[in-house]
Every structure is written in structure tokens, then in C-alpha cells.
Amino acid sequence: MSMLLLLTLSIILLGSVAYFRLSRLIWSPILIILLADAQYIGSLSWGASLLLWPVAIVSLLIAWLPIVRQQLITKPLFEFFKKNLPPLSDTEKAAIESGTVWWEGKLFQGQANWQKLWNMPKPTLTQDETAFLNNEVRTLCSMVNDWEITHEKADLPKEVWDYLKNNKFFGMIIPKEYGGLGFSALMHSSVIAKLATKSVSLAVTTMVPNSLGPGELLIHYGTEEQKQYFLPRLASGKEIPCFALTAPEAGSDAGSIPDQGIVCKGTFEGKEIVGISLQFDKRYITLAPVATLVGLAFKLYDPEHLLSTNTNVGITLALIPASHPGVEIGARHHPLRLAFMNGPIRGKDVFIPLDWIIGGVAMAGKGWQMLFECLSVGRGISLPALSTGTASLSYVATGAYAAIRKQFNLAIGQFEGVEEALARIGGFAYQLDAARVFTAQAIDLQERPAVATSIAKYHMTELSRAVNNAAMDIHGGRAIMMGPSNYLGVSYQAMPLSITVEGANILTRSLMIFGQGAIRCHPYLKDELLVLDAYKDDQKLALKHFDKICIQHIGYAISNFVRSITLALTLGKVTELTAKQDIKCYLQKLNWLSASLAWISDIAMLTLGGALKRKELLSARLGDVLSHLYLSSALLKYYQDGEKSAEERNLLHWGLQHNLYQCQEAYYGLFENFPNQLLGRLMRWVIFPYGRRFSKPNDELSHLVAKKLLIETPIRQHFSQLCYIGDLEDPMGLIEETFKQLQIAKPVLEKLAQAVKAGNIHRSLSLRAQLQAAMAKNILTQHEVNIVEEYEQLRVKAIAVDEFPSDYPLGSEICNNQSKQHADEQSIS
């Protein structure tokens, strides 16, 4: 056997061991056998033996003898981590120990098992849930005039509030045994999405009690006594809840809230008890002006040690009646002229019993972990549902408008510039619904994936913003002029709300997705950090525990490098060989980019250490790669569970090509801005040895996607079902009926156009005159003329904009006394 052949065999065998992450029980004997074989057949010179045998022996000693490994590798790494990684704060420890890691963890580690993803059950609604969606939700939407509530009343009508309470819309997530509806996360998401297509104000009013609530906190952490008392009252609407977290000086950094509670003795209901004296100042609190029950986050201190030996107990959550002495509530903010209730809450010398802490005294100081887990679920349902709802409305309405609106005697949807925008609407709307269902499924599987829900919150709100902008561009003046017939304007106004709340998007992208993902999704980093923190006073014990984790981490890193370079050189083609042809090439590319992320993440964290936390743009780009891998997974799962029609296939290809391109550009942004430029170039050569490989969806594919928005298709019907579409008095009902009438009138209009083109009818005549001439010449029948005239009447009305008399109170102070009046109604009811 020649030296070259043996070398090739050795590389293949050892590379395979690393690629498949096989244990030292396998690679150790392989290494010895290869060296012995080379020595025996004489292929290995004595000079090479003197070099390679010591390396092999040291490798084996490192793998099998901890004392050797610690001196050569583990201890230097241990000292490096101690020096370069900042100590974990209490909030950071709570964050990395909260929730679970789901599919996003497999993507981060380069270990996606696609067959396992396909085998996950298809998310579906139960019969009861479907019936509620088709009846109660539809009835609720029909009761709302969004123009009236946003521009005239600045509130939902009393009958809408009553309907929400009586039909338990505020208790969708509350289990049936506590009087709620016990809906799945998918159903919760579906309700919010549909309500958002009618009124964002209605959707926000409904989603808040079903999110942080504080119903969700009670379900997971409340004492049984608290659950038995509060949950039925919340489900029935007897209590209107809000949750007070944000303070004037503490927004995205919720852990820095200045509001304080002091454990002390005080008088409650005529008795002296040990309780908490609270001082707080909160703002931006949704439902605050009408709330009867306030969930409050504050920092708890125990200077007299009445609870424990700790003076600083930590962030704590409590439930307080809005009418409790010292609580000031009722003022109102006005968020971008939407009608949902939002305002500040303040408290001075508010004394409460200890059993008002959510979960009782046992949960004192554990509020940050409670908030972190429940906020992550809210991010995965509420805002993604809102984003999907507004995008679905844009898909249905903009496709219809682009088909019926003409310029230069041509439907505007046939212009290539408009097609480009339509393709974005179609591709992103499909992506949004896929991600909505995918993330809701994780929650229904009892996962609490903080990283996945952060991805959903950031990218879905941004995609929805892109869809909304494209829809506004296509509608032009029709969408700009506000009024009862404008079905896009309020969603456009409301978009910054989704971008800002539940973790502002800039923060979420630059700090949370990869900042949390690197620690939560990495198989070893979290344990290494916790060991450093847990045994900081016992270095010997810390080194011992660190060593066990570190040797596994080293093997993982070597494997990631081998996998990354192998998949890059083969463009991923050595994987997913048995996958179906229509998705195989995408799975191969996703495996390649996923393996690369696993390797690059370790390189970035090793070389930058704690500085990576401050390199927010680098962190954001790594987060973008993970995010688009996650969004691609959602698309593939959605497609696998769907009908797999040609139309769906085009949407799948469009979305995946967009995501792959975004991954590539995020990688290149990282390479070009990496502090160590040589290392940046090395990473680029390893991951993209042939240069850039991915492009945006091309014009031909975008044309195929766009033209389907202009006709009735199963996908369009799906998005129509996600929307509320009323009768002809409803603006969406009017545009949809006009679109349907166009499908009937289209053959007649084409026949008329052919007659005009042939010169049988003069081009300069009005449409009515052309129709009359066509009927006189027996080109069209009276019935056909009636069809076109009926369509034209609807079309003119559908493209019209609202006009107001000069004395209409567009600038009036519509908020005056609204919150006070509503609060009075609540107290009476």
C-alpha cells in the first residue's frame, strides 16, 4: 500500500469518525491501527514515525487520562474563560436556565434530523375550536366598525366588551377546569390572527389577557388557592387584567426595574401582618385604564430579614386589585391612534399581604425566571399571530385590488414592477403562516423555546412590515386616504407597535437571538458557564467539572470543523441522499449552512470571548443565520403538511431561496467585519470555497408567485379563511365580492377586448358605449353585458376613497373622558 493511499484512507476514516461524532472508544483504536499498519508496511518513514507516534500517544493520553488533559488543555482553557467571560448576573442565570430548547437547538448544532421533523404530527384545530372560529370569532368581527372605534369613539363599544367577556375570549388559554376555554396555542394564534384582519385594536385587547396576562403566570406558578379564585374570574371577564412591567427608565432592560417592595409589618383589614410596602411607576401598560386586577413586577427587599437571611430577595410578581389603596390608575396613553386601552399605573405606599405574591412566598425573588418563560410564549403566539393576520389581509386585498385596478388599460398587477411587490407579499405571507403554525406547534408540544419565539417575534413582525409596505405601495392613494373604507391604513399605523413591544426588534436581533441562542442551544457552553459560576470559590472542584464538559466540547468543535468543510466542498450533496427530489437540494444546503453555524459560533466565542456580547452586529448576523434556518424549517414542515400543489411549490421555492440568500449575506457580513481579518477570510474560504452560491428569487419565479395573487386559487382561499370578510358594507367584503365578480366577468371582458382589437368596436368609446355597440353587433348578449355592468359598478365602488365634509371632526380630542367613562361602566357592571 502506497503512502498516498494510506494517507487518503486515514483521512477518510478519521474524517468519518469526526463527521459522525463517534466516541473515543472508536477513534482511538482506529488511530493506533492506522499508524501500526503504516509502520508495518514501511509506508511511514522513521522520521515521520518520530513525529506522528508521539502526537498519537499524546492524543490518546489526553482522551483517556484526565490529569494529562487538565494540564495540557483544560486548565489553560479554564483560565482563559475565567479571564475573558464576565460573571453571570442573576437575570442572565435565570434567562439561560429558563424554558426549553427545541428544533432551533438542532439547527444551531448542525444536527437537523429532517425525517423527525416530518414525523411531527400535523398541527390541527379540534372540532370545538373550528366551530368557535367560524361562529363566535366571526360574530365578534361583525360587531366592530374599526373606523368608528379608532377615529370616533377611541374604544370598543360596550356590546363588544360584553361579548368578549360573555364568550370567554379573555379565557382562551385558561384550562376548562378553571372555567376557561382551554384552547391550544394554535387556536389562540388563529383567533388573534383573524381578529387582526378586522381590527388591530380588537386583536390587542383580546390577546393581552391571554398572554402575560397575568392568567398565564397564574396557570404556571400560582398557588392552587390563587388559581381557584382568580382564573374563573379572569375567564368570565369579571376581572379585567393588566400586567405592569415597563417603567419610564426600564423598557427592554426589564431586569433593571426601579420599582421596589420592602418586606415590613403593616395593617391590613384591621390586623397587623407581615406584608410588602410598594412604590412603583409604570407606563405603556395595555388595558391599565380599564383593569380591575394588576399584575405587578418589582424588586423585593427584606432589610429586617422577616422572610429570609437575604436582604435583596430579587424580582417578584404580585397581584393587586386596581381599587386597592395607594394604586393610581385610569390615565390613558394614545398609541398611534389605535383604540385599545393603554396607560400608566403608579403606586405610593401600597401595602399588600405576602400571599398576594404570585405563587405565594415560595416564589418571592423568582419573578425574572417566571417572566422570562411566559414572555417567550407570548412572543411566540401574540405578535406572530398579529403579523400573520395583517399579512393575510394584505395578500387577499392587494391581489384583488391589483386585478381590478387598471392603468393604461391594463390591470396594474400585470406590470413587472407591481409583480415584484406582489411576489414579496405572496412569499412573505406564506412564510408568516408557516412560522406561525410551526412555533405554535412547539408550544402545544409543551416546549417553552425562548430562542425560537424570539426569532418568531423579530422576523415575523419585520416580514409583516415588508408585506404591509408592499401592499401600501400597490394601493397608492387608495390606502393613504383614511376612512371607513380603508382596510390597510390602520394596520400600517399599528406596525410600529408590533416592532416595539415584547422586546424591541433592535434589541431582539442584536442581543437576544444569538446571545441567548449561543448559550441555550450549544450542547456544552451553558454547563461550562454554570460550572464557572457555581464553583467560583472552589477552583479544584470547578476544574474537575469543567474538564468533563470541556473534552466533549473539544470533540464537538473538531467534528463541526470537519462537517463544515466537508459539506462546503460538496455543497451539501453528501447528505439527504434519500430525500424527495423537490426538496432534496434545499435540505442539503440547509445542512451545509447549519454545520457552518455550529463551527463559526465556537470560533467566534473562543476568539472574542465576552467581547462577542458587545459586538452586537456580529452577534446579530449569527442570529440571522440561525433565524433563516429556522424559518426555512417552518416552510418545509408547512409544505410537507400541505397539498404540495404547484402553487405551493413556487411559494416554497421563493421563500427558501430568499432565506438561503439571507443566510449567505449574513455570513459574508460576519466575515468582512470580523475583528481578526485573517480569521474572517479563513472562515469564508472554509464555508464558501467557491464564492457566493445563493441568489434572490429570480424574476421568473417572482412572476409565477405574483400572478397567482390575481386569480382564485386554493392558497388564496386559505388566506381568505384566515381573514374576516363581511358583506358589501364591509370594505374587505366589497373588495372580495368585486374580485369574485371579476372572475365571472373576465371571459366577457376578454371577448370585448378582442372585438376592440379587431376594429369591430371603436377604442375611444366609453365602456358603456362599447358594451352597447357589442350587443348591437351580436358580439355580446344582454346577459353578458349585465355581468360586466354589475362588475363595473362594484369596481368603481371598491376603488373609491372616503370623502368627509369640511366640518368633520378629524382633529378632535377623541380620547377625552373615554377611559373614565369606561372605568365607570366597568365598576357598574
> Which residue from 641, 537, 605 is spatially nearest to 108, judged by alpha carbons?
605
Cβ distance 585 to 567 under 8 Å? no
CB-CB contact of 327 with 294 (8 Å): yes
What stretches of 642-676 show up as alpha helix (H) in DSSP?
A: 646-673
Name the catalytic one among 447, 502, 648, 737: 502
Q: Which residue has the cell 416592532?
A: 499
Please identify which residue in the block is written with the cell numbers 455570513: 667
Residue 101: CB atoms within 10 Å: 22
Contact 276, 264 (CB under 8 A): yes
* Strand 260-268 to 293-301 pairing: parallel
The helix (H) or strand (E) run that includes residue 746 is: helix 731-757
Q: How many CB atoms lie within 10 A of CB 769?
A: 12
Alpha helix ranges (H) inside 306-449: 367-404, 416-444
**H or E segment and range at residue 342:** strand 342-353
C-alpha–C-alpha distance, residues 630 and 613, integer Å: 22
Taking the C-alpha atoms of residue 184 and residue 199, their distance in angstroms, rounded to an integer, is 22
Whether 576 is a known active-site residue: answer no
- CA-CA distance, 611 to 85, in Å (whole number)? 8
DSSP 8-state assignment for residue 276: E
Q: Is 344 helix (H, G, I), strand (E, B) or coil?
A: strand
Rounded to an integer, what distance in angstroms lies between the CA atom of residue 456 and that of residue 502? 12
Nearest to 383 by CA among 483, 305, 312, 464: 464
Q: Give me the phi and psi of 315, to 5 degrees please.
A: -65, 130
- Distance in angstroms (rounded) separating the CA atoms of residues 641 and 183: 22
Q: How far apart are CA 412 and CA 400, in angstroms?
A: 11
By annotation, the residues acting in catalysis are 502
